[in-house]
Structure formats: C-alpha cells, structure tokens
Structure 1
Amino acid sequence: MVIRSVTARVLLLATLWSAVALVVIAVVISALYAKSAERAFTDLLRAQLYNVINSITIGDDNSLQGNPQLGDLRFSQPETGWYWIVEPLGTFAATPLSSSSLGVSNIAVPSILNVPFNNRYERFYPTYDAFGNHVLVAETEVVLDSDGRAARFRVSGNLSVVDSDIQGFTRNLYIALVVFGVLSLIVNGLAILFGLRPLADARRALERVRQGEVERLEGEFPREVQSLTVEMNALIDSNRRIVERARMQVGNLAHSLKTPIAVLLNEARLLDKPQAEVVRSQSEAMQAQVQSYLNRARIAAQRESLLARTEAEPVLERLIRVMRRLNPEKTFHLDIVTAGLLLAMEQQDVEETVGNLLENAARHSETEVRVTVAPAAAPDGTDGVRRNWVEIVVEDDGPGLNPDEIKEALKRGRRLDESKPGTGLGLSIVGEVTREYQGRFELTRGATGGLKAILTLPGTAKDAA
C-alpha cells in the first residue's frame, strides 16, 4: 500500500528508525552491562580468594589455622552459595578448613584438563553446590611454607546475585528507553508537523486562489517552498493572460461574424418565401453554431484558471423573471435549498445553460415549470480538483420524452417537435458547456410525467469571513 501523505511517510520512517535504534541500543547496553557485572563479580571473588589466602597459616602442630574475616555475612549463613574452602595438597595431611555457610558438604573440583589455570595460576568455573545454588568458584593453589607444603584455596559466590542485578538493570533500562522513545516520537511528530506546516500554508493559499478569494498565492514561506509559490504565481498570471487573450479574440471573432450573418438574415427577407425561409433558418443555425463553438473555445481557455465564479441565486432569479414576462400564462417556481451557492463558472455560461433549459421547458410545459437548486455530490469520473458541486433541476409538466426520444433530442440540430420555434441546438449546447466544465447533464422523466433536466455544475465555497 502506497502512503501518499508526506507527513505520514516521515512519521512512519521516524517511528521505524526510532524503534530499531532503541532496540539495538537496549540490546547493546544490556550486553555491555552483563559483561561488566560478570567481570565485577569475578574481581570480587578474586579479592575474597586472596583475603582467605592471607588469613591462613600452618600452626605448630602442622595444622591449617586461620579465621578469614571477609566482611560478608553470607559466608556465615548456611546454604547461601557463598563459601570459602582450604584443602591441603599432596603429603600435607592437615584437616581442611571451610566457611560455616558450607556446613559438612563440599563442592566438586573439576579436573585441570577440563578447566585449566590461567597465566596467574587461577581458574574460575561455574558449578552447583549441594543445595542447588548456581555458583561461580575462584580457585588457586598456594605453597604455604619453605617446606613446600601447599593448599588449594577456593571461594564461591552465588550467580543469582549477578543474574538478578542484570535483570533489574535490563528492566529499568527498557522502561527508560520506552519512555524516552514515546517522548521522542511525540517530539519528532511535533517537529515534523511544524516543519511541514509551510506546505499546508501553501495548500491553503492555493485553495483561496481556487475559491476566488485572492488572485495570487500570498504569505511568507521558507526558502524551500518560496520557489514553488513563485512558480505557481507565474502559472496563475500566465493563465490570466490566456483568459484575457482568449476573451479578446472571441470578441473580435464574434464582431467580425456578426455583420455577415446580419446581412444574410436581412437579404433573406428580399427573397421568395421558400428560399427566404431556407436562408433564414440556415443563417440562424450558423449563428447559433458559431456562438456555441466560440463559447467552447472561451471556456477551454479559462476553465483551468480557477478564478471564475458566479452566485447562483441572483442569476436564476433574473432568468425566472424574464421567463415570467415572456410566458405570462405559465407559472415558474424557483426553490433554492441552500442560500449562497457559488458556481465556478462564468455568468454568461450559467445563463446560457439554464436559459436554454428554461426556454425548452416553457415551450413544452402545460402550466408550470419548477427549478430546484441544491448542493450535490461530485459526478462520476471528475478529476476531484473541486470540492463543491451544485445541482440545478429544471422540470416541466409537459408530455415528456421516452428514453429513445431523449437520446435523439440531445443530438445537435435535432428537433422532435417541428411545430415549435427553435434551431434544435439548445440541449446540445447545454451538454457541451456542461462537459467543458467537467459537470454532468442528464434528461429523464419527472414525477409529473414531464421532462426533467438535471445539471450538476462545479461550485466553490463562500468567501471566508
């Protein structure tokens, strides 16, 4: 799954890296501490071993004598795993000495082949005592007098002390690292959000441009984002120039075609009636088609500028007033579900699309035409750039059309009722303008049986307070 959010990507990578780093740190520190604790324990046993050696002598009766004072009560408490033992070697037949904690038991001595002495003539080996304690034994052999009499000295310590110390340290270390990791993630998250905030500011500035509140990206941005805002402002300026140039060219072309078409219509009055009707109808159709293609060129030029917007309510009210004056015998209803709806379209395009639908509805209705305006969901297949959409429904109480007739009516220049005036271009023009704005135009049968036209047009948000 691809994560499309930059913030989510950075947070995820920071979290994964922090987790891996903390685990590695925990393992390394635990291992280092374990080695240090074991080394300290070995050094303690070595020190206790030499304390015992310094405390033992051979008496006048050729016996081992001495009472080592090791400063640790565990050497006097039974079954603790802390013992010292002195055993004569060779022909020296004295009685062995041991700490009171050992009692009458003993600790097995491994062979030198299995556990050899080191260069200091010491050896350390783990084993178990008679009470099941896991102990570490420090051992050496020392010559006690000039006659060569020697003894084996051993001191043992309970390894559970080292294990519990390591476990306690590891537990505290993990708790500390977890707390540190959580706090680090919070701090990293805040730092990342703060660092990426200029991108959010740039997005909001661009959104204000899209909604028509301002004409350029405004605000103070860091150096990394400033170049992007400069390029975006340059693009907006370029689009604005394209729009103005297209409007000027459309005006020039419309003006240049206006006079020839008017001449043709005027000359048609001088011709015989059959020829005059043909010339007049074809000139009107040519005029409508030229205007339609000019509108498409103009819309294509300004559609991506994202600056056009028209308030729906006053435009529709004005169209309804005109239709009431032209059709006094019919009733026109306007229902605005949500006040203040804005269309991301040029006003003349709104008037042309809705005006064509109103003319068509007035022409074929029996008594009334109803217009409903409300927010709508985005049509299928839109690019998702605009967040708001507006639905305009024009419904009449006329005879309506069946599905085959609807398909035929949407074709350019097709008129299903030749008895009514018109060029047959109105519905096709509505569809073309709507598609240019990436909207949707649909014809269906209404609740009263008449024709129901549904326009889904791009909208924009109301001005921010």
Structure 2
Amino acid sequence: MVNATQVPLKIRQGFVLVFVLIIALPVLFFSVSSAYYSSLVDATENNLEAHLYSLISEVEFIDETVQMPNTILAPELNRIDSDTFALIYQNNDLVWYSESAVSLEFNPNTIDSETGASEFKQVFYQGDAYWQLSLTVILGNAEQSQQAVFILLRDDKALTNVLSEFTDTLITWMLILGAIMTLLMSLGFIWNMRPLQRLDKEIKAIESGKKERLSFSYPVELQAITQDLNLLLESQRRQKERYRASLSDLAHALKTPLAILKSSPMADDNDAQEQLDRINSMIEHQLKRAATGGTDTWKKKTAVAPVLESILNAMKKVYHQKAIEFESDCDESLNFLGDKTDLMEILGNLIDNACKACQASVQVKVTYINKRLIFEINDDGPGIEPSDRKKLLQRGARLDTYESGHGVGLAIVADLINDYQGTINIDSAPIGGAQFIIEFKYD
C-alpha cells in the first residue's frame, strides 16, 4: 500500500484537480439540475392549482349541467397551441374542455375519489408524459347538486424544455468555473511551490559544496524546518571536525613512539617487526580516514570519469615495467554522490591491488543501471578462492598468498563503501582473475 507521503506533491496536486473536475463538478451539476427540475414540478403543481380554483370560481351549474363562459380567466387555457389543458367530467362524461384541449387526442382517466380530495401526479397518455391535477367537487345547492371532476394537465415537455435551456446554461458556467478553478489551483500550486523549489536549490548547493547553510528567507511554515536543518548541518560539521582532529592527533601521537621502536633492537626480531609493520599500517589507515573524514550526510556530486582517468594514468607510470594493458569503460555523465577524495581512495586501492595481482591486463567498467552506480574491476591474475572471499573483506583479515596483491587497503575500501551504504562483492573475472563489484544505490 502506497503511503500518501511517498506520492510526489505534483501528482497529489493533480489528483485534487482531477477529483474536482471529474467528480465534484459533475456531482454538483446533477444535484443542481435535479433540484431545479423538482422546483419546476412544484411550480407546475401550484400553477395548475391556481387554474383549478379559477375554473371552479367561473362554473355555473344550471339544470344540473356545468356551463362555462366562452372566455375563461386563465389565458393559457384559451390558446390552442398551449401546453396546459382543462377538462370537466360529470358521471364520467366529458361535459367541458378548454380551448387548448381542442386538439387533444385522448381522454384523461377520470378518478373516483373522495369529494374535496385532490391528486397531483405524473401520468402517461399515448407514450407521452403529463403532470395531472384532479379534484372532485360538488356543484349546486342543497336541493340540486351533483359531483364534477376537474382535471388539469401540463405537458412534461414544457418542463423538460425549460430544464434543457437551464442545463445548457449551467454546463457553460460549469465549464467556465472549471477553467477558473484549474487556473487558480495551478497558480496557487506554483506560488506555494516556489519556497520549496528555492529550498531544494539551496540543499543542492550545500550538496555540491557551494553553500554551508540555508537562508532564513522562507515562509513561517518552513522556517522551523530550515532552522532544524541548519542546526543539523552545524552539529555535523563540528562533530566531523572533532572526529578528524582527534583521530589525526591520536595517529600522529602513535607514530613517534612507533618510529623509536622500529629503530630499536626490538625491530631485529622478525615477529616483532611484523607486528610493528601491522601497527604502522593501522596508523596509516587511520590517518587516511582522518583526511577523508568519512562521508557527509549532504553528499557532493563527483564526476567519475576524470577521477578514473587520473588513477589509471598514475598506475601506468607506477607499473610501467609490467606493461599492463588497461581497459576502461565509463560514460562522461556518470556521477558519484560523495567526496572526490573518498572515490579516489576506493578506486585507487582496488585498481592498485588489481595491478599488483594481474599478469598483463586490468579492466575497469562503470555503469548506471536501475538507480545503481556499479563499478567492476577485473584482472587476469590468479584470482581468489571462493572460500577466501568473505574472509578477505573482514576487518583485520589477511590472505598471506595475496600480501603483495589483493588485500592491501581493503579495510579502508570496505569502511568507505559501508559509509556510503554501498556493497562490495568478489567474484571470478571473465578474463581469468578476480573481479571486484561495488554498487551504490541512489533513490
């Protein structure tokens, strides 16, 4: 399941915009349309009811017969092309109809209902929809009276035509509203992203070593973050300086008594000399570690090709007597996210070991695959037995058969690679010797 914080901000902004345009606005459109149609139905009922009571007021009941004036008060019922019709029934017989109902091709169903009870509903005649209001009344007096059913009809097309005009107008305004909302949200997104983009540029400047801290020209929401980041950077810088100073002081302090011991009679003993050499190697190791200082949380970007070319040129001069054939494959665009000194330490040690162990060929290949920067160093030497490969990478381990080849400087290499959260593996090289594979994963 993907966490919302793992989704890029631009994509989340797009989701909000799509939700508004694809879901919210259509729902609003159908809600408004439905509400408007309901109001049209209510207005139709009120209009028919007004016509009904107008007709009742104009009825004359003479000799048990309903009689109406030639022209009634409701103008809609006097027009032949009207969409509103009125009819009066007595004993289920049609006794009167309005001028508008002259062309009516059907007779509405009469309703036997209680006197004074009205009913409003949608009905269908010959496949067309109508809104019908009916009312049963008693006409006449106590001596002479009779029931009559008043029926008024309104064609539903009158409502749908009005609704169609309304929806066309509503669609136009919804499109305008959607365009305005899209523009405002885009402008708001761009405006809100400006401080984040500026923060991103400053962080990249710190990574490249161009700046040491973040500025404070940010909105209130980001000021706490920038202050915390500056505190972290300052704390890391002080800690790194203390670490390097302490380590350097300790290593230099040990070098003087070590030099005295190496010039003393104790050095004549082979075992003692071997232990002194090991101590000297460890001190040199720690001095180099103090010089590189490990890796920074804010990693710098180092071009790989120039560093590799520099190392290979140096190795050609150092091992010119072996006439080693060097092959390298590295794209100019590849970058190592770290300090240049650390990269030279890693590649320098591995290539130097390969030169010591090889017969006549050393190959170096650098690739970037699936967000992984991969280094491959191959030689055509005797190789390393599978059972010894893990042991060779362990701190303090040493393979006597490779004391002049692989194994020298691997403690430094392993530590540096581990600091950058990389991996190192030993395999058999395609050209017959050992193959060292280093991978750094960049998300």
* Equivalent of 1:451 in 434, 438, 441: 434
Matches within 5 A, 1:227-238: 227-238=224-235
1:328 aligns with 2:320: yes
Contact 2:77 2:86 in 1 (8 A): no
Q: Distance in 2 between matches of 1:410 and 1:161?
A: 87
Q: CA deviation at 1:406?
A: 3.2
Q: Residues 409 and 416 of structure 1 are in contact (CA less than 8 Å); yes or no, is this contact kept in structure 2?
A: no
CA distance in 2, matches of 1:413, 1:366: 25
Indicate conservation of the 8 Å contact 2:417/2:424, yes or no. yes
Preserved contact between residue 216 and residue 223 of structure 2 (Cα < 8 Å): no
TM-score, normalised via structure 2 length: 0.77
Instruction: Sort the Cα spacing of 1:42 and 1:435 in 2 relative to 1 into closer, same or farther, 3 A.
Output: closer
- Aligned partner of 1:117 in structure 2 is 116
Q: Which of 152, 175, 180 lines up with 1:179 in the alignment? A: 175
Tell me how far 1:285 sits from its aligned partner. Answer: 0.7
SS in 2 for 1:137: strand
Verify the 8 A CA contact 1:356 1:430 in the aligned structure 2. yes
User: Which runs of 5 or more structure 2 residues have no equivalent in the other structure?
Assistant: none
Q: Provide the C-alpha distance between the structure 2 equivalents of 1:64 and 1:361, rounded to a whole number of angstroms.
A: 121
Give 1:303's aligned residue: 295
The change in CA–CA distance for 1:213 and 1:377 in structure 2 (over 3 A counts) is farther
Deviation of 1:188 after TM superposition, in Å, equals 5.8
1:286 corresponds to which of 268, 274, 279: 279
Structure 2 SS opposite 1:454: strand
> Relative contact order (C-alpha < 8 Å, sep 6+): which is higher?
1
Q: 1:240 to 1:179 in 2, by over 3 A?
A: same
Preserved contact between residue 88 and residue 96 of structure 1 (Cα < 8 Å) = no
Identity of aligned residues (%): 22
**Counterparts of 2:69 and 2:51 in 1: how far apart (Å)?**
14
Contact 1:59 1:65 in 2 (8 A): no
1:396 CA drift (Å): 2.6
CA distance in 1, matches of 2:107, 2:376: 103
Coordinate RMSD, CA, aligned: 4.5
Distance in 2 between residues matched to 1:229 and 1:315, nearest whole Å: 34
Aligned residue type for 1:349: D
C-alpha spacing 1:13/1:326, structure 2 compared with 1 (3 Å): closer
- SS of 2:320's partner is coil
- For 1:376, which of 368, 381, 397 is the aligned residue? 368
* TM alignment of 1:379-418, pairs within 5 A: 389=373, 391-411=374-394, 412-417=396-401
1:305–1:64 CA distance, 2 compared to 1 (3 A): closer
Partner of 1:212: 209
Change (3 A) 1:453 1:399: same
Report how far residue 225 of structure 1 moved.
1.5
Q: 1:341 to 1:86 in 2, by over 3 A?
A: closer
User: How many angstroms apart in 2 are the aligned matches of 1:75 and 1:335?
Assistant: 97
How far off is 1:423 after superposition? 10
Counterpart residue identity of residue 354, structure 2:
A
1:104 and 1:288 map into 2 onto residues whose CA distance is: 113
Evaluate the alpha carbon distance shift between residue 83 and residue 441 of structure 1 in structure 2; reply closer, same or farther with a 3 A threshold.
Answer: same
Q: Determine the structure 2 residue equivalent to 1:383.
A: none
Structure 1 distance, partners of 2:126, 2:376, is: 94
Residues 315 and 29 of structure 1, relative CA distance in 2, 3 Å threshold: closer
1:112-149, Cα deviation, whole Å (9 max, x unpaired): 43xx526xxxx344486986764513546476799977
Aligned-residue offset at 1:283: 1.0
Q: 1:323 Cα deviation (Å)? A: 3.4
For structure 1, which segment, 144-153 or 309-318, has the greater mean C-alpha deviation from structure 2 after superposition?
144-153
Once residues 416 and 311 of structure 2 are traced to their aligned partners in structure 1, the CA distance between those partners, rounded to angstroms, is 18
Structure 1 contact 18–181 (Cα < 8 Å) conserved: no
Q: 1:48 aligned to 2:51? A: yes
Alignment length (residue pairs):
433
Structure 2 CA distance for partners of 1:435 and 1:73, relative to 1, 3 Å: same
| Partners of 2:407 and 2:122 in 1: CA distance | 106
More deviation, 421-430/402-411: 421-430
Query: Which blocks of at least 5 consecutive residues in structure 1 are unaligned?
Result: 90-94, 379-386, 461-465
In the alignment, is the contact (CA less than 8 A) between 2:376 and 2:437 conserved in 1? Answer: yes
Larger mean CA deviation between 406-415 and 140-149 belongs to: 140-149
Partner of 2:345: 352
1:262 maps to 2:259: yes
- Compute the displacement of 1:239 (Å): 1.6
